[in-house]
Structure 1
Amino acid sequence: MVDAQDGYVRGVHTAPANQSEMMHFEAAIDGAHIEANRVYADKGSASNANRQFLRKQKIKSAIMHRAYKNKPLSSRQKLANQLISKKRYIVEQCFGTIKRLFRMGRASYFSTTKVNAQVILKSICMNLKKAANKIFVDQPLRGAIRPNITYGGKFT
């Protein structure tokens, strides 16, 4: 679970790779222990059961619509997907950064427990990186001495 406003990781739910994320949608929402007004999700979570679950929880659904065989998306569904994707890019940036900077393109372990621990640690690193960037961007350090690094990796 990633906060759509700031992009901080708020919760982690890890499931085996051979199971659909659609099956774990309710567990991910319940396990996050976060009161949300709206849940943004990709097409992998698009199902009537997931939308009904959000309605029961009194949470607005922002799950992207999915086209099925012989049933293309209506113009209203396409517009809804565009509006949802404008918010979801913040979440996707977080996942992309974790994959790129923290080498999470592939799990380093085999068991779900170990992979869950790895994802939690990488998520903590991601949140610390976002917090540090926010501090330094909002309030730049004055008088801080930053070493100049040459191409050889030596300080000058």
Structure 2
Amino acid sequence: MVVDAQNGYVRGVHTAPANQSEMIHFEAAIKGAHIEANRVYADKGSASNANRQFLRNHKIKSAIMHRAYKNKPLSARQKLANKLISKKRYIVEQCFGTAKRLFGMGRASYFGTAKVNAQVMLKSICMNLKKAANKIFVDKPPRGVVRPNAT
């Protein structure tokens, strides 16, 4: 999923087989989202020179977390960069937590990439609608409306 780091809305979905690394599908996910971003945040699963080069070629700043490799620990600068990136990424991670907790997206319900893609897209639409509804009611509740589960 490509998630807006500003508000946490799902902007795009790219589904791939589970036996393939997400690292090789990074470019397709970014292109498929049709976004105009000046910075892309990603976890260590997307950490590769090819992905960073793709962002450079498209004049997008890379905020992909750094990854330690065998016999090559992270430098102090890389640790600091990861810490700064993680402060922004928590908005995106909330989206994944909501998807798993409220929409049962811990596992796919179907077999086949096309069916799973349809499921993820529909649940992403539901998440965006839920987020928009919460934003409307939390930011500015209508007069006389009592919200359920309000304390």
Tell me the TM-score range normalised by the shorter chain: over 0.9
2:131 corresponds to: 130
Query: How has the CA–CA distance of structure 1 residues 36 and 147 changed in structure 2, closer, same or farther, with 3 Å as cutoff?
Result: closer
1:99 corresponds to: 100
Segments of 5+ residues of structure 1 without an aligned counterpart are 149-156
Name the SS of the counterpart of 1:140 in structure 2: coil
The one-letter code sitting in structure 2 at the alignment partner of 1:83 is L
Instruction: Give the TM-score normalised by the residue count of structure 2.
Output: 0.95
Q: Distance in 2 between matches of 1:68 and 1:75?
A: 15
Q: For residues 35-114 of structure 1, what are the structure 2 equivalents within 5 Å?
A: 35-114=36-115
**How many residue pairs get matched?**
148
Q: State the structure with more CA Rg.
A: 1
Q: Which contiguous aligned blocks of 4+ residues in structure 1 show a shift greater than 6 angstroms?
A: none
Q: Distance in 1 between matches of 2:138 and 2:27?
A: 37
Name the SS of the counterpart of 1:40 in structure 2: strand
The one-letter code sitting in structure 2 at the alignment partner of 1:88 is R
Instruction: Give the TM-score normalised by the residue count of structure 1.
Output: 0.92
Q: Percent identity?
A: 89
Give the root-mean-square deviation of aligned CA atoms.
Answer: 1.3
